[in-house]
Homo-oligomer: A and B are copies of this chain.
Amino acid sequence: MGYKHNIEEILDIGYDILRKKGYHNVGINQILNQAGIPKGSFYNFFESKEDFAIKVVKRYGETNTEWMQTFFDNSELSPIESLQSFYKFMIDTNENDDFLSGCIINNMSIEVGRINETMAHKANEQFISWLNILARVINEGQELKEITHKFKALEIAEYLHAGFYGTFSRMKVTRNRTYMDTWYNMSFEFIKY
């Protein structure tokens, strides 16, 4: 049983490339070159390019779920304040990326989700994990009367998720954070108790 290459390392490199350049715009060879592996090894690990992309999405989704979980678990702020610091962090992160990349799962959903059932399903799974974490924090905020009771916690989570993702398409063509900051201010004004 020979071994040498690290699958997770290849997935991490794939994550960087697919997030920045998309799916159909990236050839297998680009991934092979950047990861420094021959084609035979790649197809030994992954059934196809599609299989590879799905595993990249899965790995990123799960890593991010864990990260979000510890972010909110370790937060010493109140529920709504930790939500605010979460979205502030997300906006800052996109600024550091020059507003070009966005979220790989959002990108994949838009580009690939409609033409690939498996990808759609896997992307949806990750979204649901994230939304449940957000909903838990929102629910705490509702109990502390920080957040409106007009809607269910999960509905507010979906609402914030949609709004934030919507700013991505503006961001990618304007290349600045104005719209993200405006979205942030308005959203937290609207959902407050």
A residues sitting closer than 8 Å to B (CB atoms) are 20-25, 100-102, 106-107, 109-111, 113-115, 120-121, 123-124, 127, 150-151, 155-156, 158-159, 161-170, 172-175, 179, 182-183, 186, 189-190
Contacts and interface: CB of A to CB of B under 8 A. Distances in A.
A113 B182 contact: no
Contacts of A170: 109, 127, 158, 161-162
Contacts of A124: 173-174
Q: Give the oligomeric copy count.
A: 2
B169 A113 contact: yes
A110 to B, nearest CB: 5
Nearest to A26: B24
B114 A106 contact: no
Given A110-B110, A165-B166, A173-B124, A115 B159 contact: no
Given A22-B24, A24-B24, A107-B111, A120 B166 contact: no
